[in-house]
Structure 1
Amino acid sequence: MPKKFSTKDLVVLKEPTGRQSGVGHFEFTDDYSVFHYGKMANTIPGKGEACCRIAAFNFRLLAREGIPTHFREFHPPRRMEFDLLKVVDPQKQALGPTDVNHLVPLQVVFRNLVPEGSSVLRRLRLGHLALSDIGLAQIPAPGSALDRPIIEYTTKLEEIDRFVDRDEAASIGGLDEKQQVELEGRTRLINEILTSHARSVGLVLADGKLEFGRDGQGGLILVDHAGSPDEARLLLDGVHVDKQVLRDHYAAAGLQAQVEEWVQEGLPRSTWPVPKPLPGEVVDLVGEMYRSLCEAWTGTQVWDAQDLDRVSQRLAAIGLGRGEPH
């Protein structure tokens, strides 16, 4: 199910066949990725376990609210077992509304606000996105909340994920209008549940991305994971406590601009030069961020991590977490 550049390792325990789902598990690693890169040079201590614990917590939270998912069981410290669906590459085999037991090859992005660092602001500035595409009358100020959450789509199985409009998303995903409306409604509901939980622990959920599948009867289910700091932007008093801090570090070194040029030029990802490793002090602090966030989000003490307020202050002090180069 994950792309070869994923920071989760997939083990297939039982292959899916016909209308019957299989069984797999994800091993969440301490690896990280930014700007379309695969695994970077460093690892972040505790990151894999923190993300896995948050993912499992969120699946249970969503199940209590009636959201169907592929989640089966959490195996501490960082393994998650799930129902495994078939992966169909739409470039090789078109999907249709009656197909079942497959991953929907899209990422569905929801946005509640647009912090600095959001791709919406970057694409609007570059002219790659029109205000009418996302139902806005003017470019929002960085950090501003949206009157209504925006939903966007990206591809999932291509080497470089790209944003697509609603019609192309439906074609790629094999969705008819009713199914797409259901998917978008489910996205809004998941957003509301996660946003409410974030608020309850003092955080703001700025945006996130979701993945879906269709089970053996064609029912829509949430897959992969949702609401983790690798899949969502979470803010504490305006400071990111998520993967954005890693993007900030590498954006300051010019990597984001370079990657955008390489993508536009069509350079294969395998030819991109390897970025420099993170400094040790950044590795340590970001690891503490993941562990602190996990304990705050799940309400479970695992590492006796620092208070998340203190960690966010330390991140801001070295220019990380503001969503822009330092």
Structure 2
Amino acid sequence: MPILNSTKDLHIVEPPTATREGVGVFAYTDHYSVFHYGRMPDSIPGKGEATCRMAVFNFTMLEEAGIRTHFRRVIAPNRIEVTLARRPDPAARSLTRDCGNYLLPLQVLFRNELPPGSSVHRRLAAGELTPADVGLDKVPAVGQRLEQPLIEYATTRDDINRFITPGQAQRLAGLDGEHFRALREITLKVNEVLTGHAAKVGLNHCDGKVEYLMTSDQELMLADSPGTPDESRLMFNGVHCGKQILRDWYVSSGHEIPVNRLIADGVPRNQWPRPAALPPAYLPVMTDLYQSLSETWTGERRWNAPDLPTATRAVTGLINR
């Protein structure tokens, strides 16, 4: 079962109940998603397995750091077994932490740098944020590193996810003060572990996002796939190592899908225009990039991919054509 706007498929092995977590299997596919459109027309051969191997590595590393995650086991080559929680509709009933196990309808975002493509630049220009909101005294430069990580919150059930205040996030997720503080502290720890590992292998971990379950024993559990190129913005020598490259091509070529306008105009999703296919030259370069990133991150040479300097030079060559 594909998940809307996700590049993973979910198979439910044991459905969750109000008193017991369930079991599911995530399959990492070769699809990618940009602009909140959902899955784009092309697939990138090898992306799913490369991303899966990074996810498994990260879950293991985070568990060793004392962070409880929903990861259970790997099912090679591109699947993992995970703990599942229910997905109650917060619009139908206000959530509280004693509702039984549930997936928080919330993304928690962390930012270490503000590279090209960061939504912070757009939101500052539009007046949706002020420099003070980002912990700065003036508008930041593109690529600026933040002195302290910036934590933000966004919805997950809207057609286009919305940034919300910490107070709104706490109410939406049904958390008391203690659990909401723990949510922030765990997120900072996740960021610290992932950013530290990125630095060890020569990458910049610019930003990322995480999701959480509230378990039946009222404990927070890290979910999703933190630190993978679908959830984090990773860069090597100023080159994006993920879907920002593809997003930039759609914008620069005039093929961007105006999802915000389509939703505002009430156009049904099944009537949206179909995105243009990528130029054929992009697919092998992106395969090499994802596999090289995975090998660099995990230290496991599986595909004999080009090293990351070579893979990112190929990306730069595409962009500069």
TM over 0.5: yes
Which residue in 1 is equivalent to 2:12?
12
What whole-Å deviation, never above 9, does each CA across 1:24-78 have from its counterpart, x for those lacking one? 0001110111010111111000001011110011000001110000100011100
Which residue identity lines up with residue 259 of structure 1 in the other structure? V
Could you tell me how far apart the structure 1 residues matched to 2:94 and 2:191 are? 29
Which residue in 2 is equivalent to 1:87?
87
Could you tell me how far apart the structure 2 residues matched to 1:41 and 1:2 are? 15
Contact in 1 for aligned 2:155/2:163 (Cα 8 Å): yes
Q: Which runs of 5+ in 1 are unaligned?
A: 321-325
The structural deviation recorded for 1:238 is 0.9
Contact in 2 for aligned 1:20/1:101 (Cα 8 Å): yes
The structural deviation recorded for 1:192 is 0.3
Q: Which moved more, 1:134-143 or 1:282-291?
A: 134-143
Could you tell me how far apart the structure 1 residues matched to 2:139 and 2:178 are? 31
Contact in 1 for aligned 2:282/2:318 (Cα 8 Å): no
Which residue in 2 is equivalent to 1:33?
33
Which residue in 1 is equivalent to 2:116?
116
Could you tell me how far apart the structure 2 residues matched to 1:228 and 1:92 are? 33
Which residue in 2 is equivalent to 1:213?
213
Contact in 2 for aligned 1:99/1:218 (Cα 8 Å): no
The structural deviation recorded for 1:271 is 3.0
What whole-Å deviation, never above 9, does each CA across 1:214-249 have from its counterpart, x for those lacking one? 111010110111000111111111111122111111
The structural deviation recorded for 1:177 is 2.0
Contact in 2 for aligned 1:62/1:190 (Cα 8 Å): yes
The structural deviation recorded for 1:258 is 2.8
Once the two structures are superposed, the pairs formed by residues 8-87 of structure 1 within 5 Å of their partners are 8-87=8-87
What whole-Å deviation, never above 9, does each CA across 1:242-299 have from its counterpart, x for those lacking one? 2211111112133558334334545444332111011111011111100110111001
RMSD: 1.8
Could you tell me how far apart the structure 2 residues matched to 1:250 and 1:164 are? 28
Could you tell me how far apart the structure 1 residues matched to 2:59 and 2:91 are? 31
Which residue in 2 is equivalent to 1:323?
none
What whole-Å deviation, never above 9, does each CA across 1:13-34 have from its counterpart, x for those lacking one? 0011122101000011101110
Could you tell me how far apart the structure 1 residues matched to 2:154 and 2:270 are? 21
> For residues 151 and 23 of structure 1, do their structure 2 counterparts lie closer, same or farther at Cα, with a shift above 3 Å needed?
same
Which residue in 2 is equivalent to 1:183?
183
Q: Which moved more, 1:282-291 or 1:244-253?
A: 244-253
Could you tell me how far apart the structure 2 residues matched to 1:273 and 1:209 are? 29
Which residue in 2 is equivalent to 1:198?
198
Contact in 1 for aligned 2:35/2:257 (Cα 8 Å): no
Contact in 2 for aligned 1:87/1:102 (Cα 8 Å): yes
Partner-residue secondary structure (3-state), 2:33: coil
What whole-Å deviation, never above 9, does each CA across 1:173-227 have from its counterpart, x for those lacking one? 1112221111011100000000010011110100001001111101011011100
Q: Which moved more, 1:42-51 or 1:154-163?
A: 154-163
The structural deviation recorded for 1:136 is 2.7
* 1:97 counterpart = 2:97: yes
Contact in 2 for aligned 1:214/1:221 (Cα 8 Å): yes
Could you tell me how far apart the structure 1 residues matched to 2:255 and 2:122 are? 15
Once the two structures are superposed, the pairs formed by residues 123-142 of structure 1 within 5 Å of their partners are 123-142=123-142
Once the two structures are superposed, the pairs formed by residues 303-322 of structure 1 within 5 Å of their partners are 303-319=303-319
TM-score, scaled to structure 2: 0.95
Which residue in 2 is equivalent to 1:225?
225
Once the two structures are superposed, the pairs formed by residues 254-273 of structure 1 within 5 Å of their partners are 254-256=254-256, 258-273=258-273
Which residue identity lines up with residue 241 of structure 2 in the other structure? V
Which residue identity lines up with residue 208 of structure 1 in the other structure? G
> For residues 9 and 312 of structure 1, do their structure 2 counterparts lie closer, same or farther at Cα, with a shift above 3 Å needed?
same
Partner-residue secondary structure (3-state), 2:151: strand
Instruction: Tell me the matched-pair count.
Output: 321
Could you tell me how far apart the structure 2 residues matched to 1:100 and 1:203 are? 39
Partner-residue secondary structure (3-state), 1:40: strand
> For residues 130 and 315 of structure 1, do their structure 2 counterparts lie closer, same or farther at Cα, with a shift above 3 Å needed?
same
Q: Percent identity?
A: 44
The structural deviation recorded for 1:313 is 1.0
> For residues 280 and 79 of structure 1, do their structure 2 counterparts lie closer, same or farther at Cα, with a shift above 3 Å needed?
same
Q: Which runs of 5+ in 2 are unaligned?
A: none
Could you tell me how far apart the structure 2 residues matched to 1:138 and 1:263 are? 33
Which residue in 1 is equivalent to 2:297?
297
The structural deviation recorded for 1:134 is 3.2
Could you tell me how far apart the structure 2 residues matched to 1:89 and 1:112 are? 32
Could you tell me how far apart the structure 2 residues matched to 1:8 and 1:168 are? 28
> For residues 174 and 9 of structure 1, do their structure 2 counterparts lie closer, same or farther at Cα, with a shift above 3 Å needed?
same
